[in-house]
Structure 1
Amino acid sequence: MTSATTRPPRPNAGTKGVARPEREAQIIEAGCRLFGEHGYLATSVADVADAAGISKPLIYNYFGSKDGLHVACVKHASAVLVSEIERTAALGAVGFARAVVTLDGMFRLLEPRPWLWRVVFDATAPREGEAQTWLAEHERRIMDFGREGVAELMHLAGNDDPLDIDAMRAAWESIFRALVNWWLDHPGESPEEMTHRCLRLFRTVFGELDLSGTALT
């Protein structure tokens, strides 16, 4: 009979009384922050262990390697971003209203955890492997939402040309990323201030916007 002192740990057991799923979430949160703030290349397993207040062997036990931990962080961060885009898409705004609502939602999401964006768009991360496969799938989902929103905007303007829509989608994707990156590089700017800045920029280029159905002005 196995004694209490020699009984093997349960598969879902954590450390120091913390359940394994909770401990994994803690490690992923610390990993996302460090990978996001310093990049994949400049972040070590030891750094993440120190930030999470655990040992390096525990990370290897849970995730197998630095790459395994990075994949878990990429999955978490990309899923959070996609979930937010899905949420704002479901609000029913169309045209420029949808564009501004989407940006506003992303700013508010990222304000307490800006590193999530950096994890997904980390130029130092490996270009191949499971993390990139996961990102490609999430990017496809984001592009589908972007294409849908752009198609609505172009239709309202009387343009249903497929190539025009695809070209505008590519332009919108670049603008969206550029505005989020600019905001992250200016941490003193609140989400509300950045949303109104986007409104001013869009109005400067496109004139008065129809924002009916939203709380934005």
Structure 2
Amino acid sequence: MGAVKNKRMPRAVREQQMLDAAVRTFGQRGYRAASMDEIADLAGVSKPLVYLYLNSKEDLFTACIRREAVALTAAVRAGVGPGLTADRQLWEGLRAFFTHTARNPDGWSVLHRQARTHGEPFAAEVATMREELVAFVTQLIVVAAREAHRDPSLPAREVAGLAEALVGAAESLAAWANATPGVSAKQAAATLMNFAWAGLGDLMDNRPWSPPPFDDREQTRPGADLATP
């Protein structure tokens, strides 16, 4: 049962209370199954008041996505202190990411599962957040390259690809960690750090992995021309 509904409070406080209730409901029940009635009851307000403040279920869900996205990106940025070495910057950023998603599982569910599976404009809101995280990680990798070589020696396209891969891995690992009992935020961050930094370290030391010069499968794929010049 919700809180007392006739208690007066500032609009901004009441609105955050509604968003708290909505994030919890959307995160646990899903966008389609969540009802405005249960959100209003959980927030301790009337349903007409939810509509008055946030217009519609779609607008309420969008407001939830935006609030959770801002909170996540702010947490990651705040976790990376100035003056740290490249590996410490990446470690602190990953730890901040996994700590935030672990402490806010309903918010992460809204961002990672619900918003992405219910079309536009929800998916676009999450894409904006993801672009910001990728840009931030890109800068961390550039800093690592400069630290190793005194200049950004990695090609821009390669750096962008590495950032995309790292953010994608973090997203998947956060969903797994939240669903797996006993996996702490620190353990999740260490798992990805060990996976990513070993490869990044080789790149920084100019020891990239290269595919074999000849692959038998390329000669046997359907339609391949087996004749030699």
TM-score (norm 2): 0.72
| Aligned counterpart for 1:86 among listed residues 52, 77, 80 | 77
Q: Residue 132 of structure 2 aligns to which amino acid in structure 1?
A: R
> C-alpha displacement at 1:44, in angstroms?
1.6
For 2:126, the equivalent position in structure 1 comes to 135
Q: Residue 126 of structure 1 aligns to which amino acid in structure 2?
A: H
| Aligned counterpart for 1:126 among listed residues 89, 94, 118 | 118
Task: Write the distance in 2 (CA, Å) between the matches of 1:178 and 1:117.
Answer: 11
Q: What secondary structure, in the 3-state scheme, does the structure 2 residue paired with 1:122 have?
A: helix
> C-alpha displacement at 1:135, in angstroms?
3.2
Q: What secondary structure, in the 3-state scheme, does the structure 1 residue paired with 2:113 have?
A: coil
Q: Residue 56 of structure 1 aligns to which amino acid in structure 2?
A: K
| Aligned counterpart for 1:117 among listed residues 89, 108, 112 | 108
> C-alpha displacement at 1:194, in angstroms?
3.2
| Aligned counterpart for 2:62 among listed residues 65, 71, 76 | 71
Partners of 2:37 and 2:47 within 8 A in 1: yes
Richer in helix (by share)? 2
Kindly tell me: are residues 132 and 201 of structure 1, through their superposed partners in 2, closer, same or farther at Cα, counting changes over 3 Å?
Answer: closer
1:191 aligns with 2:182: no
For 1:177, the equivalent position in structure 2 comes to 171
Q: Residue 127 of structure 1 aligns to which amino acid in structure 2?
A: G
| Aligned counterpart for 1:55 among listed residues 37, 43, 46 | 46
Q: What secondary structure, in the 3-state scheme, does the structure 1 residue paired with 2:32 have?
A: coil
Q: Map Cα deviations across residues 55-97 of structure 1 (whole Å, 9 max, x no partner).
A: 2212111111101111111111001011112212344434332
Q: CA RMSD, aligned part only?
A: 2.7
For 2:162, the equivalent position in structure 1 comes to 168
Q: What secondary structure, in the 3-state scheme, does the structure 2 residue paired with 1:102 have?
A: helix
> C-alpha displacement at 1:25, in angstroms?
0.6
Q: Map Cα deviations across residues 120-158 of structure 1 (whole Å, 9 max, x no partner).
A: 1224653213x4444343333222101111222344455
Q: What secondary structure, in the 3-state scheme, does the structure 2 residue paired with 1:42 have?
A: coil
Partners of 1:183 and 1:194 within 8 A in 2: yes
Q: Residue 182 of structure 1 aligns to which amino acid in structure 2?
A: W
Partners of 2:101 and 2:174 within 8 A in 1: no
Structure 2 unmatched ranges of 5 or more: 203-229
Q: Residue 143 of structure 2 aligns to which amino acid in structure 1?
A: E
